[in-house]
Amino acid sequence: MQSDAEVVIETRNLTKVYRDFWGRQKVRALKALDLEIRRGEVFGLLGPNGSGKTTTIKLLLGLLFPTAGQALVFGREATDVTKNERIGYLPEESYLYRFLTAEETLNFYGRLFKISPMVRRQRVADLIEMVGLSWAKRRQLKEYSKGMTRRIGLAQALINDPELILLDEPTSGLDPIGTREMKDLILRLRDEGKTIVMCSHLLADVQDVCDRIAILYQGELKELGRVDSLLKVQDVTEMKATGLSDDVRDQIQQLVARHNGTVLSWGNPTTTLEELFVKIIRESQEHPGRRVQDTLREQDNQQVQETRQANV
C-alpha cells in the first residue's frame, strides 16, 4: 500500500451521540474519530461490543447521521446516495427478503444499479457460482441455513462490482471452510484493487487479512496502525534454526535446559492480535481517555524484559 494512494474514506472529528425522543443525550457512541482509508487497503475495525465500530460503518453508509464532524466517502458526504453506486455492503446479519429466491434477490439488487440486463444476468449467475449456491438458487431464502444466507448476502454486496466494500462481521456464522473461503475472497478482492473495510470480533480472521486496523473502545480510537508493525515485539529475539550440528544444538539445548526451556526458533517474535487486543482493552479500562500506544509499548517491553530476566 502506498501512502499516496487516493483517499477513499475520510472521517473528520466524526461524532455520534444517540438521543432519546426529547433530544436528551443517551449515549456517546463515537467520539471525534479521525480516520483515513486509502484505495487498496484492507482495513479492520476492532472493538468489543458497544465500542462504536458498527456505528462507524453505519455513519459511513449514511444509515445514521453524524452529530458532529464529517464522514466522507469518495469525497462525498456519506448521506449522499450517489456514492452507493461504488459501494458494496454486507450487513452484520444478512438482512435480505426471505420471500425471494437467491436468483430473484440478486436480480432485484442488480436492478437498483445502472447495469444493463445482460451484464446483470451474467453477473448474477457468476456470483451464485462463486458463493457455491448454484444448487439452491431457486429456493426461497427462508429455507436457507445461516451460512447460506451469509453467502448470498456477500453475493448481494458484490453485485455492482464495487470499489469499496464494507463488511460487518464477515465470518460470523460461517464454518471453518466458509471462513477460509471468505478470507481468501477478501484477499482476492484486495488484489483486484478494491478497498475493504471490515469490522469483526474474530481477531484471528482480522489478523490474517487486514493491512491496517483501528481498535475502538467506548467510542474512542485506541490504536491505529499496520497489523505487522503493531504485532511486532521489537527487542525480543526469536530463533528458528535447522541443520545445526548436534554439537551446537546440544550446547544451546543445554543452555536452555539449564533454564528449563526448549528452543524452537530465533528471530523477532510476534504476539497474537488477541493478546494485543486484550491488553489495549485492559489498559483503557485502567486509564480511561488516554491513547494507549505509548504506555502500552513501554509496559510491553518491560514485561518482555522481565520474562527474559526470569528465564535467564
> Does residue 104 touch other proteins according to CB under 8 A?
yes
Look-up of cell digits 497474537: 272
Nearer to other proteins, 111 or 297 (CB): 111
3-state secondary structure 231-295: HECCCCCEEECCCCCHHHHHHHHHHHHHCCCCCCEEECCECCHHHHHHHHHHHHHHCCCCCCHHH
Classify residue 306 by burial, with Cβ atoms within 10 Å: 0-12, 13-18, 19+.
Answer: exposed
Binding residue for other proteins, selected from 38, 53, 58, 183, defined by CB under 8 A: 58
Binding residue for other proteins, selected from 1, 34, 97, 306, defined by CB under 8 A: 97
CA distance 55 to 16: 8
Sites for other proteins among residues 147-186 (CB under 8 A): 156, 160
Q: With CB under 8 A as the contact rule, which of the stretches 30-38, 63-71, 205-213, 294-302 interacts with other proteins?
A: 63-71
> Does residue 63 touch other proteins according to CB under 8 A?
yes
Q: With CB under 8 A as the contact rule, which of the stretches 6-14, 110-118, 219-227, 248-256 interacts with other proteins?
A: 110-118
Binding residue for other proteins, selected from 1, 75, 95, 239, defined by CB under 8 A: 95
CB 97 to other proteins: min, Å: 6
CA distance 9 to 23: 29
Supply 73's cell numbers.
Answer: 466517502
CA distance 140 to 144: 7
Residues 6+ apart with CB under 8 A from 69: 11, 12, 13, 14, 15, 32, 33
Sites for other proteins among residues 208-227 (CB under 8 A): none
CB 194 to other proteins: min, Å: 16
Sites for other proteins among residues 19-38 (CB under 8 A): 23
Binding residue for other proteins, selected from 34, 80, 126, 306, defined by CB under 8 A: 80
- Please state, in angstroms and as integers, the Cα–Cα distance from residue 115 to each residue in 11, 70, 212, following that order: 30, 30, 33
CB 23 to other proteins: min, Å: 5
Query: DSSP state, 93?
Result: S
What is the three-class DSSP state of 216? strand
Residue 264: phi and psi, rounded to 5, are -115, -40
CA distance 254 to 248: 10
Binding residue for other proteins, selected from 112, 204, 264, 278, defined by CB under 8 A: 112
Binding residue for other proteins, selected from 5, 12, 27, 93, defined by CB under 8 A: 93
> Does residue 82 touch other proteins according to CB under 8 A?
yes
Binding residue for other proteins, selected from 1, 6, 13, 18, defined by CB under 8 A: 18
> Does residue 84 touch other proteins according to CB under 8 A?
yes
Residues contributing to the site for other proteins (CB under 8 A): 18, 23, 58, 61-65, 79-82, 84-85, 87, 89, 91, 93, 95-97, 99-100, 104, 108-109, 111-114, 156, 160
